[in-house]
Amino acid sequence: MTRQPKDSAASRPHRFRVTAVEQPALHLTLLRVEPVSGGAFAFRAGQYARVGFDGLRARNLSIACTPGGGSLEFLVRDRPHHDGNLFSRLKAGAMAEIEGPFGSGYLREDHAGPILAAAGGSGIAPVKSIVETALKKGMTQPIHFYFGVRDEPDLYLEAHFEELARKHKNLRFVPVLSEAANPRARRTGLVGEAVAADLPKLAGFKAYVFGPPAMVRSTVGMLRSLGVAAADIHTDDEGVT
């Protein structure tokens, strides 16, 4: 069920135009939009917006780009029983009304200690924003990014993050497949299990966790058992759609 933002009355709508529609993975649509009216859309890395495309029900979508630019980027999971496949339904030139930003799972730029980022599926959108922003801001502490998907067809942006890791020695990117058809070729299992195997002591870390509710709950539980303080775990408490 799509939730209503708690402070929607405090936000004003911005009008955007879709400039690009791509399909980076099965059941996932990448959308880029440019502002038409409403002024600059300010947000923090890791936050989300409420987006209503013309003719479709509005939904809450995490922002996948870094703050400060005019355009916005979203990675949208298909909902077959709601708005179907956006890749086939939306075209360049379509209009969108965007409200926000919302969410408390944003990057804490004043944190100087190590960072653990964990994403499942389309939860990579806010983590992409967080990781790219941290690097752009010159944050030099270790950043460990674990990305969990079911199998190879669901794995996307791998080359992008591998290239970032080559350029920034403090970034480590680890894809994890939970239902790998060829388990010998990849790291397999659950994201939380992979983190526990690699980083058994996480006291002093800031953690950012986004993805399906079950994945978030299990990963947060694992992080707590590994020493991450509850106040240092940041996520979207209510989830986006």
Same domain? 200 vs 124: yes
Same domain? 126 vs 53: no
Residue 22 sits in a domain whose CATH number is 2.40.30.10
Same domain? 121 vs 42: no
Concatenated DSSP letters of the chain:
-PPPPTTGGG---EEEEEEEEEEEETTEEEEEEEEEES------TT-EEEEEETTS--EEEEB-S-TTSS-EEEEEE-BTTTTB-HHHH--TT-EEEEEEEE-S----TT--S-EEEEEEGGGHHHHHHHHHHHHHTT--S-EEEEEEESSGGG--SHHHHHHHHHH-TTEEEEEEESS-SSGGGS-BS-HHHHHHHH-S--TT-EEEEESSHHHHHHHHHHHHHTT--GGGEEE-TT---
> pTM above the 0.85 mark?
yes
Determine the pLDDT at residue 87: 60
Residue 125 sits in a domain whose CATH number is 3.40.50.80
Determine the pLDDT at residue 83: 60
- d(C-alpha 47, C-alpha 129), whole Å: 9
Determine the pLDDT at residue 25: 79
Same domain? 78 vs 134: no
Determine the pLDDT at residue 6: 46
Q: Is residue 110 part of a domain?
A: no
- In which domain, by residue range, is 170 found? 115-235
Determine the pLDDT at residue 31: 92
Q: Is residue 107 part of a domain?
A: no
Q: How many domains does the chain have?
A: 2
The segments of the chain whose pLDDT lies below 50 read 1-10, 239, 241
Same domain? 21 vs 59: yes
Same domain? 69 vs 149: no
Same domain? 85 vs 176: no
Model pLDDT for residues 40-84, shown as the tens digit of each residue? 799 999 999 999 988 778 889 999 999 998 899 999 887 655 565
Same domain? 87 vs 152: no
Picking from 81, 102, 123, the residue at the C-terminal end of a domain is 102
Same domain? 129 vs 182: yes
Determine the pLDDT at residue 174: 97
Same domain? 230 vs 121: yes
Model pLDDT for residues 218-239, shown as the tens digit of each residue? 999 999 999 999 999 999 865 4
Determine the pLDDT at residue 93: 92
- d(C-alpha 155, C-alpha 130), whole Å: 19
